[in-house]
Amino acid sequence: MIPTVYLAIDPSLTAHRAEITYTWRTLLTGMGYSWCERAWGEEPVIIAYTTNPADTPPAAMVINARIERWCAPAQAHLIGSKQWHGYTLPRLADDQSTGQPIIANGCLYVPDDPIFAAFWLLSGYE
């Protein structure tokens, strides 16, 4: 059986919904997951993709969406990568150099925006 990832996308990202859902669909189906988007605030979700990590529906993972990047993707620049528990993550200009995902209260918080980074790389911006 294919596992399903339940995802909630912050309503403030509506203007960039096509790009965001394209990225999620590409990443999740490429990893063998089905996915189902739920309305913001509907429980339960596995991933909350939000511009305000302090105000999200309950989720196992909260990813900080960087809306300013979605508004001007051509302004982003890859400056390298960083390591986290054996994973190599892209590092864009103005990412936190020491910002690492943290686990608090049973939730994984991701401070930088790997979804935008994936979109940016997949779309050939640099």
> What is the tally of structural domains in the chain?
1
Range 19-54 burial, b when 16+ CB lie within 10 A, else e:
bbeebbeebbeeeeeebebbebeeeebbbbbbbebe
Reduced to 3 states, what is the DSSP secondary structure of residue 24? helix
As a whole-number percent, the residues of the chain with pLDDT over 90 amount to: 63
57-106 confidence digits (pLDDT tens)? 999 999 999 999 999 999 999 998 888 778 888 888 888 766 778 898 89
The pTM score is 0.89
125: pLDDT strictly greater than 90: no
